[in-house]
Structure 1
Amino acid sequence: MRNIARKDALDEMTKDDLVAWIRNQHFLRPKRSDVLYIRWERQSAEVLEEMQKENKALDGFDFKERDRLAVRFNESRDAGEKLRLLELMQPYDKAMQDHIRRSQALDRKSKRVDALYEQIDVERQKERRT
């Protein structure tokens, strides 16, 4: 028995097909708040997935080792040894800087998604008045 994944008809439709089909459904007209909610739901799921991925990004780094290298750096009086220790710490520092940069970008994206959610409420209030 073969397991054949069936495609939903919506998956086969182009954007133009979908728009035309929705416009032909006289009993079904999405409200702007519905569209915004669908957009918010998709984008918030994407942000959550990206955040989970980013939280795992540093799993391969032992920052206690970086701290031990920093202690040795601070205790050393030899310029050559200090340079060698700095070079050993560099991958840790770069990984942390990259993580911070990506996390800040995710925070900005999350704020845009939160603003989208607030816009849903604004649109719902407008829709109730009309």
Structure 2
Amino acid sequence: MEPFEPPIALDRTFDALYGLEVLDANDERVVARVAIRDQIKQPMGLVHGGLYASIAEATTSMATAAAVMSDGKAAMGLANSTSFLRPITSGDYVHATATRRHRGRTTWVWDVDITDDEGRLCATTRMTIAVRPRA
């Protein structure tokens, strides 16, 4: 897959800090990953749960924003509900696939599956994105 160019440069953002790589994206699906390293783990050696929520919010906000910017709209996270199913303690990457479930006038809803290198489901997020006029 070719790297995706988001509508806003990520190099000086929180997403760059934790190492988000968006591999493919459109207004229906986003594929991303984050390299596993000690800095994204909590003290017990598991990938930090906040990373999963951050990946979900970033990928879905970016994809929604890319789709609505040309209409003079902005997109931002409104609700993030992440359920943790199994820990990731090792491997090369945390993988994420976001799938759009609803495209409304003022809200979009996405489901994001977080998996390990073996394809096992480790967390799932329901993400609601607010779509509003840009200031």
Q: TM-score, normalised by structure 2?
A: 0.27
Q: Which has the larger share of helix?
A: 1
Look at both structures and tell me which one has the larger radius of gyration over its CA atoms: 1
Higher relative contact order (CA 8 A, sep 6+): 1
Q: TM-score, normalised by structure 1?
A: 0.28
